[in-house]
Structure 1
Amino acid sequence: MPPPSALDIRTSSVVRLIKEESSYHKELASAKKSLEKMLAGEEPDEYELRQQRKVVEETKAMIPEVRTRLQTALEALKFQLELQKSPESEPAQCKEKAQKAIDDAQKLLGEALE
C-alpha cells in the first residue's frame, strides 16, 4: 500500500478539525447544561460551581483556536488541490473527497460568521 499523498493528508486534517470543532460545540452545550442543573439545585457547592464555570470558559476558548487551525488547514488543502489539477496526478476519488472537505469546512466557517 503506497503512503498517503499530500492531498490525502491535507484532506484528513480538514476533516479531523471539522469533527473536533463539532465535538467542542457538543461539549460546550453539555457543560452549560450541567452548570444550569447545578445552579437550579438547592445550595450548590461554590467550589463545584467555579470548576464547572471554568470548564465552560475553557471550552468556549478552544472553539476560536480550532477554527483558526481549520482555516489554516483549509487554505493548505485548497492550495494542494490547485497543485493537483492535472487528471493523472491524483485519483478522482481523492479529489472529490478533498472538494467535499473544502465545501464542509467553508459551510462550517460560514455558519460561524452568521
Structure 2
Amino acid sequence: MPPPSELAIATKAVERLVKEEVFYRAELAKQQERVRQLAAEIAAAQDPSTLDSNAEYVLRQESRAVDETKAVFGPLRQRTVEAVSTLEERIALAEADQADGAADTDELEKARTVLRTGQTAIAKDS
C-alpha cells in the first residue's frame, strides 16, 4: 500500500483538529454544568453540616478544570488555522495536478469538504 499523499495527511489533520474542538466544547459544557450544580447545592444548603465536607474543595477543583479546558481553545484554534492553511495549499497543488490528470478526484473532493468544515470551525470562533 502506498504511503498517504500530502493532501490526505493535511485532510486528516484538519479532520482531527475539528473533532478535537467538538470534544473539548462538549467536555467544557459538562464541566460547567457540574460547577453550576455544585454551587447550587452549596448555596441551597440550609445546614452546612449536611454538605459533603469536601464540597468547597470539589467546587474549586471543578472550576479549575473548567479554566484549564478553556485554555485549550486558543492553541487549538491556532493549530486549526495553520492546518486549514496547509490544506488550502495542498488542494491548490492537487488541482494543478488534476489539470495534468495526475490527481485523485475522490481524495480532492474529500479535502474540499473537510476544508469547508475547518473554515466553518475557524469562523465560528472569530
Scaled to the shorter chain, the TM-score interval is over 0.9
User: Structure 2: how far apart are the matches of 1:4 and 1:65?
Assistant: 26
1:39 paired residue number: 39
Gaps of 5+ in 2: 46-50
1:97 paired residue number: 110
- 1:28 paired with 2:58, answer no
Aligned length: 113
> 1:72-100 CA deviation, whole Å, 9 max, x = no partner?
00001111111112223321000001101
Say what the alpha-carbon RMSD is for the aligned residues. 1.2
Runs of 4+ displaced beyond 3 Å: none
Query: Among residues 66, 77, 81, which one is paired with 1:67 in the alignment?
Result: 77
User: Structure 2: how far apart are the matches of 1:39 and 1:82?
Assistant: 52
1:10 paired residue number: 10
TM-score normalised by the chain length of structure 1? 0.93
Query: Among residues 75, 83, 88, which one is paired with 2:93 in the alignment?
Result: 83
Considering only CA atoms, is the larger Rg found in Structure 1 or Structure 2? 2
Query: Among residues 57, 64, 68, which one is paired with 1:58 in the alignment?
Result: 68
Gaps of 5+ in 1: none
TM-score normalised by the chain length of structure 2? 0.85
Percentage of pairs with the same residue: 34
User: Structure 2: how far apart are the matches of 1:10 and 1:105?
Assistant: 11
